[in-house]
Amino acid sequence: MIKQLANNPSNLVSESLSGVILSNPNISKISEVNAVVRSDINIVKDAFVSIISGGGSGHEPAHVGYVGFGMLSGAVCGNVFASPSVAAILKTIRACAGKAGVLLIVKNYTGDRLNFGMALERAKVEGIKIEMLIVHDDCALELGKGITGGRGIAGTVFVHKIAGAAASQGLKLSEVFDIAYRASKQIKSIGVALSMCSIPGSVPSERLIGSVYEIGMGIHGEPGKEQRPFPPEGSLNEIATQMICHLLESSYGEPFVPQSNLALMVNNLGGLSVLELYALTGRVIRILADKQLYVVRSYVGTFMSSINMAGASLSLIHVNPIILSYLDASTSCSSWVASPVLKPLDDSYDIAKDIIDRVPIAAESGVESYPRGTYECPHALEYITVAAHRLIDIEPRITAYDLVCGDGDCGLVLRAGAQAALSALEKLTASRDLKSGDSVPINAVELCLCLADHISGSMGGTSGALLEIMLRAMAVSLVSVGLTTLA
């Protein structure tokens, strides 16, 4: 059984739209259909080109989340993964049509092309000035392969933003179309899925069961380019590298040549944690920089989901000052996540130095000095080294136990503490030209304080706090009985 918040799967789209309307006074619903428009549409539609998009639901925040000043004027929502009806699309066109005209931005799927295309023709008969742009940014499949060829996925949101910004400047319909068309030809996207999504009211799919992932799976669960065994280690590096390779090798659009400036969208397909999403972002930016492809804008978040699919997509677009001005332009929509201006990485970039440069810190006092006294523990290094390595080795077992009775972090925290302890021993032996396994005299208070400092900076968790308290209390106790001094 799939557990989902739905009274009835057939009503989920309309109930979701009700939540959107109640949460955003700048959006209004069109009566009798699952479609929304800007609340001020009657005021602005004569002065500015209206941008309409839409498609099947289940890709939220697309497309309703992009309705607002600077992006979409209206969005039409079909049932989950199903194109909206011609009647709903036409009603939305009529609501948004003014003297400036209407631009439809449609993803390249058979149902969307047919239904939006039919609504387009009927609108033309009614005398509405209207154009339609088809976006096919997914380069998972070779040109001409698949049912429709290149599919429209998250890169479409770049087109929404650029077209909406151009329209907000008061440009003519032909000019907005031309800008959006040329931008769409600069975008390449690729997705990766670790698991399938769960469609409300449907039986769970058995694809991707087991230790595999799929490069290029579509946002409706369509087959992608290939399935690969999920790597037991280094999954982030492998998957990020595979995605970038497919993007750069694709014959879609213009190639990404060295020294190019790019905007990157890292899109959560619904079920990936934010922790993983930013790890992927960092790795992708590094890989691109190594190829002299420089990310100057980075958009990270959920832009076009596949309900709750565990996976992500990458979209790249060539940028120049004009495209950047459109991407940076303000918008009132609720779901666009703006990017700060990024400095292109080069071979000399050092992230550690960058962090220090960005965050002002007090001057360092130099290497810590710990007290020396008369109470020595000659075998401490040997015993602690053995214990620390043992903790590191049994971390998976401790983690498994904690997953049953706790929150699953105990093994990882203890491993971090063990590694911190080993680092502390290396620090203590470095000044003595000794190896950490040697049986050598170390002052007890010095040892306790050094271990406490390293655990404080590395371990975390309740265990880390308790161990630090214990070690510092031990140091104070040793001093209090006169075995050494802190002077």
**Is 342 a residue whose pLDDT tops 80?**
yes
What is the C-alpha separation between 96 and 128, in angstroms, rounded?
10
Closest to 153 measured CA to CA, from 305, 317, 326: 305
Q: How many CB atoms lie within 10 A of CB 333?
A: 22
Closest to 51 measured CA to CA, from 413, 331, 297: 331
What is the C-alpha separation between 333 and 66, in angstroms, rounded?
5
Q: Strands 226-229, 260-268: parallel, antiparallel or unpaired by DSSP? A: unpaired
- Residue given tokens 């396994």 in the structure block: 437
Confidence of residue 464 (pLDDT cuts 50, 70, 90): confident
**Is 22 a residue whose pLDDT tops 70?**
yes
Confidence of residue 129 (pLDDT cuts 50, 70, 90): very high
For the ranges 42-51, 154-163, 256-265, 347-356, the lowest mean pLDDT is seen at 347-356
Q: What are the tokens at 1? A: 């059984």
Confidence of residue 209 (pLDDT cuts 50, 70, 90): confident
Angle at 163 between CA 158 and CA 165, to 5 degrees: 95
Most confident of 132-146, 350-364, 411-425, 430-444: 411-425
What is the sign of the dihedral through the CA atoms of 263, 268, 273 and 279? Answer: negative
Burial of 206 (0-12, 13-18, 19+ CB in 10 A): exposed
Identify whether 220 is a catalytic site residue.
yes
Contact, 264 vs 277, CB < 8 A? no
Q: What are the tokens at 155? A: 């890169």
Q: Does domain 9-198+209-328 have CATH number 3.40.50.300?
A: no
Q: What is the pLDDT of residue 476?
A: 83
Most confident of 55-69, 358-372, 401-415, 455-469: 55-69
What is the C-alpha separation between 359 and 356, in angstroms, rounded?
5
Distances (CA, A) of 408 to 337, 402, 474, 475: 32, 5, 29, 31
Distances (CA, A) of 19 to 24, 169, 296, 462: 9, 31, 35, 40
**Which DSSP category does 62 fall into?**
T
Domain ranges in the chain? 9-198+209-328, 380-480
Q: What is the mean pLDDT of residues 204-228?
A: 87
Confidence (pTM):
0.82
What is the C-alpha separation between 400 and 383, in angstroms, rounded?
26
Q: What is the mean pLDDT of residues 441-467?
A: 83
Exactly one of 136, 220, 246, 454 is catalytic; which is it? Answer: 220
Contact, 441 vs 483, CB < 8 A? no
